[in-house]
Amino acid sequence: MFTISDLVYKDILSISHMKMEEGKVTSIIGESGAGKSTLLKMLNILLSPDSGRIQYKNSDVSEGNAITHRREVVMLAQQPVIFEGSVEDNLQIGRIFSEKLPVSTDALKNVLALVKLDKELDQSAEDLSGGEKQRLALARVYLMEPECFLLDEPTSALDEGTEDEIVRTFLEAVKGKTVIMVTHSNEIAEKYSDSIITLKKQKRDKTNEA
């Protein structure tokens, strides 16, 4: 689905060749500051490489339309965005972004169960805890039904048991779609991925630093 060649971005990323397969789960792991979030942002055309190519379905992403791209390839950021309003508003807004019709109350309840979020649909989303907001944002991207999910530490605020369960049920529910997921958990990566990419921190050139 994505092929990267000879990519360089500042002194943060240097990738000669990398591939993420369509319909598979690819986990990205690596130490803090290795560039995992930066790489996901590039796949979502939120950042562009200084040199090199990123191809999506055999076309260079720099030649395509970023808005159209982001409807097919949806990113869940590390700090989930929560909009003013209710839990329901925060779910349906994803459907609006994706230019899809609103889903039924039953579908909303089902997705809350999928991410184990035991909250009323009319509850204010701003009152949720950090881990609950993370699950609400995950539920939102699920309802957007993209071809490809870019998930940046989607369950980092959860305890290990809950994290494992939510990753498992989410991946079962989206089976067949492409998932590219940054995770701090080697265990989750090994258990649930078809392939694992390990990013290494680049050696910074200190000669130009003050």
Ligand X SMILES: Nc1ncnc2c1ncn2[C@@H]1O[C@H](COP(=O)(O)OP(=O)(O)OP(=O)(O)O)[C@@H](O)[C@H]1O
Nearer Cβ to ligand X (35/146) = 35
C-alpha pair distances (Å), 208 with each of 8, 11, 34: 18, 12, 20
Q: Provide, rounded to whole angstroms, the least separation between the CB of residue 29 and ligand X.
A: 9
Answer for which of 20, 27, 35, 44 binds ligand X (CB under 6 A) is 35
Q: Is 34 one of the binding residues for ligand X (CB under 6 A)?
A: yes
**Phi–psi pair at 59, nearest 5 degrees:** -115, 145
Of the candidates 74, 37, 49, the residue with the CA atom closest to the CA atom of residue 199: 37
Select from 28-36, 55-63, 110-118, 141-149 the region that touches ligand X (CB under 6 A): 28-36
Q: Is 4 one of the binding residues for ligand X (CB under 6 A)?
A: no
Determine the number of helices (DSSP H) and then strands (DSSP E) in the chain. 7, 9
Nearer Cβ to ligand X (37/92) = 37
Instruction: Render 124-191 in DSSP notation, one character per residue.
Output: BGGGS-HHHHHHHHHHHHHHT--SEEEEESTTTTS-HHHHHHHHHHHHHHTTTSEEEEE-S-HHHHHH
Distance CA 14, CA 201 (A): 10
Q: Is 104 one of the binding residues for ligand X (CB under 6 A)?
A: no
Select from 30-38, 79-87, 89-97, 160-168 the region that touches ligand X (CB under 6 A): 30-38
Q: Is 38 one of the binding residues for ligand X (CB under 6 A)?
A: yes
Q: Is 77 one of the binding residues for ligand X (CB under 6 A)?
A: no
Of the candidates 189, 184, 158, 154, the residue with the CA atom closest to the CA atom of residue 170: 154
Nearer Cβ to ligand X (30/85) = 30
Answer for which of 20, 25, 29, 37 binds ligand X (CB under 6 A) is 37
Select from 31-39, 51-59, 61-69, 138-146 the region that touches ligand X (CB under 6 A): 31-39
List of residues contacting ligand X (CB under 6 A): 12, 30, 32-38
